[in-house]
Amino acid sequence: MSVKVTESDDNSEVTIQVSGRFDFSCHQPFVEGYREYPKGEKKFVVDLSETEYMDSSAMGMLLQLRDHSAKDQGDVSLINANESVQEILKIANFDKLFDVVVE
């Protein structure tokens, strides 16, 4: 498990990449990764390209991130999830709460 946070060149967007298992063991680095930015000021992208699995605690972290994101709370994109993670997101109806993009 690792969490990597990068900011775009124009400082408008933050990408959080989760590698391995996205579960409670990621909680502290994931939350610290977005809380270092003032609430409501950034768009966030969660890159799931290297995420093997996610559980309910990961979904809770994504909801907290959504609350922390820019103004309309729709400024969180989940990108590049594998088929099993996509299925988890779909079952939980997260595709209705987040912009889910597979490239």
Question: What's the pLDDT score for residue 102?
Answer: 82
Asked if pLDDT for residue 72 goes beyond 70, the answer is no
Q: What is the pLDDT of residues 5-64, one digit of tens each?
A: 999 999 989 999 999 999 999 999 999 999 999 988 889 999 999 999 999 999 999 999
Question: What's the pLDDT score for residue 75?
Answer: 84
Q: Which domains does the chain have, with CATH numbers?
A: 2-101 (3.30.750.24)
Task: Give the phi and the psi of residue 75 in degrees, each rounded to 5.
Answer: -100, 40
Q: What DSSP string describes 63-87? A: HHHHHHSSTTS--EEEE---HHHHH
Question: What's the pLDDT score for residue 91?
Answer: 94
Question: What's the pLDDT score for residue 74?
Answer: 61
Q: Which residue has the higher pLDDT, 71 or 100?
A: 100
